[in-house]
Amino acid sequence: MALWQVLLLALLQGATEFLPVSSSGHLLLASHLLGVGLLPLRWMVLFHAGTFLAVLWTYRHDGARLLRALWPGRGSPDDRHLLGLMVGASAVTGAIALGVEPWLEKGGLSLGTAAAGWWTTGLLLLASSSRKGGRRRLQDFTLKDALWVGFFQGAALLPGFSRSGLTLAAGLFRGLEPREAVRFSFLLALPAMAAASLWELQGIYGGGGEGFKVMVGFALAFLSGLGAIGWVKSWATAGKLPWMALYNLALGAAVGGWWLLG
């Protein structure tokens, strides 16, 4: 890929990873529009590594407390409880990933799948944001609640199914207040992104002469990811998620029609 294409796709990845609009679906759509074909998995992992650093930086204080909670007798009860929720949710996501990955590698990615994902994400966001009375905090969350969110995160492995959108909707469905639902959604991204990055780490530098593109793309995904995280936090707590739902529905309709027309 040309450098300008790498920069554009890295910016798109960082901006859409945390917005509830599906980064994988946008990358798939952009690769079709740019005529570069399906992105190599190593590039997708590279961009995810940049956004991983963005969420790690934003929630660095939570991360430090969770690391302390790994040691017996360390960390507060709330931190140990949150760590247990993340482990349970991540286990469900990992189990789904093992089943879905072979299908994705055999060509399961398509604009039709992405269109269905955008529609699903949009409808779930509309339904969850219309719920009133969500006052639960993560201290009140149970393992069953966390497994529910982990299942939604696993479903977001398909293009068009937004990871942040589905996990945010799942948290709201389980009664979390919006700020806590956003926090759990982003914290839950850490183990998922780390696992994906480590899985394909050996392939990132597989192509000759890609070192500069790797560094620039990584940095741009990180910076745009930081901006997207702040945007989602403000919009979710302000009750503006239905606007993102409408965006998903409109994009799903447009891409679905394009795909059906060949």
| 50-69 pLDDT per residue, tens | 888 999 999 999 999 999 99
Residue 209 in this model has a pLDDT that exceeds 80: no
Domain total of the chain: 1
Q: Distance from CA of residue 234 to its chain's centroid? A: 17
Handedness of CA 188, 194, 199, 200 (dihedral sign): positive
**pLDDT tens string 100-116:** 877 766 655 688 989 99
Q: Please tell me the distance from the alpha carbon of residue 210 to that of residue 204, in angstroms, as a whole number.
A: 9
Q: Which residue has the higher pLDDT, 200 or 131?
A: 131
Looking at residue 58, its pLDDT comes to 93
Q: How far is Cα 19 from Cα 122, in angstroms, rounded to an integer?
A: 12
State the Cα–Cα distance between residues 70 and 145, nearest whole angstrom.
21
Domain that holds residue 244: 3-33+41-70+78-210+217-260
Q: Which residues of 12-32 are buried (b: 16+ CB within 10 A; e: fewer)?
A: bbbbbbbbbbbbbbbbbbbbb
Q: Which of 90, 66, 70, 45 shows the shortest CA–CA distance to 198? A: 45
Mean pLDDT of the chain: 86
Q: What is the pLDDT of residue 98?
A: 85
The HSE-up count of residue 227 (CA atoms within 13 Å, CB side) is 11
Instruction: Give φ, ψ of 127 to 5 degrees.
Output: -65, -45
- Tens digit of each residue's pLDDT (9 = 90 or more) over 69-101: 988 878 899 999 999 999 999 999 999 988 887
- The answer, yes or no, to whether residue 4 has pLDDT greater than 90, is no
Report the pLDDT averaged over residues 171-189.
93
Q: What is the DSSP string of 3-55?
A: HHHHHHHHHHHHHHHTTTT-HHHHHHHHHHHHT--SPPHHHHHHHHHHHHHHH
Of 152, 136, 171, the C-alpha closest to 90 is 152
Contact 181, 153 (CB under 8 A): no
Percent of the chain with pLDDT over 90: 49
Instruction: Judge contact between 22 and 157, C-beta under 8 A.
Output: no
Higher pLDDT, 39 or 208: 39
